[in-house]
Amino acid sequence: MNQSFKITAKTLGGFEETLADEIKRIGGSNISIGTRSVFYSGSKEVLYKSNLHLRTAIRVLVPFKDFTAKNEKEFYKNIYDVKWENFITHKNTIALDSAVNSNIFRHSKFVAQLAKDAIVDRIRNLEGKRPSVDLDNPDLRINIHIKENHCTLSLDSSGDSLHKRGYRIEKVEAPLSEVLAAGLVLLTGWNGETKFIDPMCGSGTVPIEACLIARNIPPNYYRENFGFQKWKDYDAKLWHQIKNEAKENFKDLSIKIIGTDISLEAVEIARRNVERAKLDENIIIKKESITEAELKTGPGIVVTNPPYGERLKKENIEEFYKKLGDSFKQNFKNFDVWIFSYNKNALKHFGLRTSKRLTLFNGPLECKYHKYSIYEGSKKQFREE
């Protein structure tokens, strides 16, 4: 049980350091940072904790075979040679994910198909019947990563992506991924002791993830299914022990986290998501337009992602961002305002001086995450700048 093995956690571009910090806190060792990945070592306990506690991980993989292949035949043979009968029988279902960056293997779907053929051929030759594929809820999810001729096979211990915490059944248009929302809050360093507001909260993802952080509730505490629970070596006792220990460390929160939105539909969706996350005692969701926000006095922080303006004309979105900047200046005294946006041109019209600029990636999309510090009495200075 205490034996250590290699683990890889996948994340979004720009959150590698944040994820590495999280991994350190749950006891991972030999931590090193890759692109959208963090590599580390740990026991089964660390693996289970990774799935429960890591807020910025999308999936947690256990690599178990590395090989080189210069053509499809070699690739097939290497996959066929794995003792798949140690993991599954013909009665089980499988799914394969693949990511390729190679001149030899160009199509990730084809690679996944070929690997699937090798696995089912082996089991059929041994047992007379073949396992079938279930993309949604397989018994075993296998991950293939290929860089040029170097292939890594991993078992996916998460199963479904870890952003699926379970509370967000309904969402508004363009919601943030839960992993991204949690990462945005962690990057601010907010500790749950000052005010927290998302004034364009949509489905409530940012307030919910902020509250989970402040209350020290693991992001996937209420999620019911993880890939490793279907593995032959699943240790249910250890898993329950880890969950009980986590529960003992939940914290109370003395402040209320606030989410507001101009859309009544979004407000209703956010309220139901908050309820499902069991955080209705800590989060207040209200209908309010940011441009007509009441005066709020800090210390506190705002973390929000305004509309990106896909449906608005260029001038309209620029005008909207200008109004946003004015509203923060006038109505959020002594707040650190963190704005996340894909629209870097619109951000230029915000009219406030940035005190920090980060570039992050949501999948392939480059995004900006800017911090503006709004101090009492600095309005004139901002205007001049």
Ligand X SMILES: C[S@@+](CC[C@H](N)C(=O)[O-])C[C@H]1O[C@@H](n2cnc3c(N)ncnc32)[C@H](O)[C@@H]1O
Residues that bind ligand X (CB under 6 A): 171-172, 174-176, 199-203, 205-206, 261-263, 266, 289-291, 305-307
Q: In terms of CB distance, is 307 or 325 closer to ligand X?
A: 307
Partners of 60 in the beta sheet?
Answer: 9
Question: CA geometry: angle at 38 spanning 32 and 40, to 5°?
Answer: 60
Q: How far is the CB of 297 from ligand X (least distance, A)?
A: 20
CB of 262 to ligand X, least distance (A): 4
Query: Least distance in Å: CB of 161 to ligand X?
Result: 16
Contact 215, 178 (CB under 8 A): no
- Give the 3-state secondary structure of residue 324: helix
- CA–CA dist 282, 320 (Å, integer): 30
Cα separation, 347 vs 340, whole angstroms: 9
CB-nearer residue toward ligand X: 171 or 215 = 171
If we measure between CA atoms, which residue out of 349, 345, 353 comes closest to residue 370?
353
Q: By C-beta, is 172 or 246 nearer to ligand X? A: 172
Q: Which is nearer to ligand X, 169 or 174 (CB)?
A: 174
Least distance in angstroms from the C-beta of 210 to ligand X: 11
Q: Which is nearer to ligand X, 130 or 171 (CB)?
A: 171
- Residue closer to ligand X by CB (options 38, 339) is 339
Return the H-helix or E-strand segment holding 112.
Answer: helix 108-127
DSSP 192: S
Cα separation, 194 vs 255, in Å, equals: 7
Least spacing, CB of residue 174 vs ligand X, in Å: 4
Task: Report the nearest approach of ligand X to the CB of residue 291 (Å).
Answer: 5
**Least CB distance to ligand X at residue 242 (A):** 28
Nearest to ligand X of 159, 202 (CB atom): 202
Distances (CA, A) of 251 to 53, 182, 316: 15, 17, 43
Measure the CA–CA gap between 303 and 252, rounded to whole angstroms.
Answer: 21
For residue 266, CA distances in Å to 165, 253, 257, 340 come to: 19, 25, 17, 19
The CA distance from 273 to 280, in Å, is: 9
Residue among 127 and 170 whose Cβ is closer to ligand X: 170
Instruction: Count the helix, strand and coil residues of the chain and give each as a percent rounded to the nearest 5.
Output: 35, 25, 35
The residue number with the shortest CB distance to ligand X is 202
Question: How far is the C-alpha of 220 from the C-alpha of 195, rounded, in Å?
Answer: 24
In the complex with ligand X, the residue whose CB is nearer, 137 or 291, is: 291
Closer residue to ligand X, CB minimum distance, 240 or 314: 314
Q: What is the DSSP letter of 85?
A: G
Query: Based on the number of CB atoms within 10 Å of its own CB, is 383 exposed (0-12), middle (13-18) or buried (19 or more)?
Result: exposed
Give which of 116, 53, 46 is closest to 88, Cα–Cα.
Answer: 116
Q: Which amino acid is at 176?
A: L
